[in-house]
Copies of this chain bind each other. A is one copy, B any other.
Amino acid sequence: MQTISIDTKNKHYNVYVGSHIYESVLTLYEKQLQKADHVVIFVDEVVAKLHLENLLRPLELISKKAVHVFKLPAGESSKAVETFMACHSFLLEVGCTRKTIAFALGGGASGDVVGFVASTFMRGIPFFQCPTTILAHDSAVGGKTAINHPQGKNMIGSFYQPDAVLFDVSTLSTLPPKEILSGMAEVIKHALISDHRWVEELFSFQTFYEISNDQYLSYLVKGIQVKAAIVEADEFEQSVRKYLNLGHTYGHAIEASTGYGKITHGESVAIGLVISLLLSEKVQSLQKGTARKLFDALCAFGYSFDPVLEHKIDTLIGYMKRDKKSSFGDLHFVLLEQIGQPCMEIVSVKEVLLAHEQLRKWSMEVHK
C-alpha cells in the first residue's frame, strides 16, 4: 500500500492506494468510526453488486455498528439535484447529525455528489472517498465536489476535502473498457502537464492491455502526486490548480453537447487534450507535431473522435464561454509551453475554430 499525504490550509489527509486495503486502512480510523453516531455508505448501484460487501463488512466490524446504505443511480445521472436531495432525505430519515460519517463508494460521479452532500448536510460532515474507477484517481482527490445543472456540468458545488481517500485498485479489475479509456485520459493529462518522459512511456504502448498491474499502480500514484502538489499550492483554484483543466474547456463542451452519460468524462477530455495541444502549437511554443502524435496514440488506444464530427462549433463555443474558468465571455484555455509546462491563455474564437477544423480533418481521415 502506498500513502500520499495532502496538506491543504484547512485539512491534512491521506490517500491510500493499494489492493484490498479497506480493512487495514479503516483500522487506522477506528476511534473516529466508533465515536460516530451513524456511519452511512452511498454507493453507485452497479458498484454495489461488485464491491459493497468488501467495504461494508470491515466497516461494520471496525465501527462496531450497523452501517446504513443508500444506493445511487449509476453514472453521471446521479449528479442531478433530485439525487442530491434524496441523499439529504436519507440522512435525515436515518437520524444523522454532524457526528455522522459518510462514505462514497463508486466512480467520479458518486464521489462528486456524495462529497457535495457531505459538505452541505448540516453545513458539513466528515466523509471518506472510496473510488472504484481509474477516473476517480483524479476526482476523489482534491476536494472538488459538485452536481450538474441542466445548463452545465459541475455548475453547483463546493471545495470540501475528504477525511481520507481509500483507493482499492483491486476494484479496477471489473472496469468496462469504456471506463478504462475514461480514466486513462486523466492519467495522460497528468503526464502531459508534468513529465515528458512519462508521456513517452505512455505513448510506447499500443493498447492499454499491455500495461501491467504494477505499472497501473505506479501511474495512479504518480497522477495523485501531481494533483496533490497542485492542490496544496492552490486549493481554491485561483492560480496553478487551473492547469489540471488541460483539455477540459473543449472537453466539457463536447460532453455537454453529446449529453452527460452518453460519452464518458475522460473520452471527452481526451478529445479536448488534442485541441489544447493544437492550440499550444499555434499560440504557444509547443513543438509542432505533438498534437498529431497525441491524436495517433489516442486513436490507437481506442478513443473515438466522432463527437467532433457530430457537433457544430457554434454550440461548442457557447458551452466553452460558460466554462468556470471563463470571464467576460473570453475563452480561457490551459495550454502547454512544452510538455510538463502548462500555462493559462485567453484564446480567440478564430483560433479555436481553426483547431476544431484541423481535428475534424484528422477525424474524417480515420474513417477513410
A residues sitting closer than 8 Å to B (CB atoms) are 9-10, 37, 81, 85, 88-89, 92-93, 95, 97-99, 119-124, 144, 146, 149-152, 155-159, 236-237, 321-322, 324-329
Contacts and interface: CB of A to CB of B under 8 A. Distances in A.
A99 B324 CA distance: 9
B37 A328 contact: yes
A123 B97 contact: no
10 contacts: A37-B327, A88-B149, A88-B156, A92-B151, A92-B322, A97-B327, A99-B328, A123-B144, A123-B236, A124-B236
A256 to B, nearest CB: 12
Given A97-B327, A322-B95, A327-B98, A157 B123 contact: yes
Contacts of A322: 92, 95, 97
A124 B158 contact: yes
Contacts of A327: 37, 97-99
Contacts of A98: 324-325, 327
A120 B158 contact: yes
B88 A155 contact: yes
B81 A85 contact: yes
Nearest to A100: B327
Contact of A149 (B89, B119, B149, B325): B89
Contact of A157 (B37, B120, B155, B326): B120
Given A89-B149, A149-B89, A151-B89, A158 B119 contact: yes
Nearest to A93: B151
Closest 7 pairs (CB-CB, A-B): A99-B327, A122-B324, A92-B151, A97-B327, A37-B328, A37-B327, A123-B157
A85 B151 CA distance: 11
Contacts of A88: 149, 155-156
A9 B124 CA distance: 17
A237 to B, nearest CB: 8
A88 B152 CA distance: 10
Contacts of A329: 37, 95
Contacts of A99: 327-328
Contacts of A152: 92
B89 A121 contact: no
A120 B151 CA distance: 15
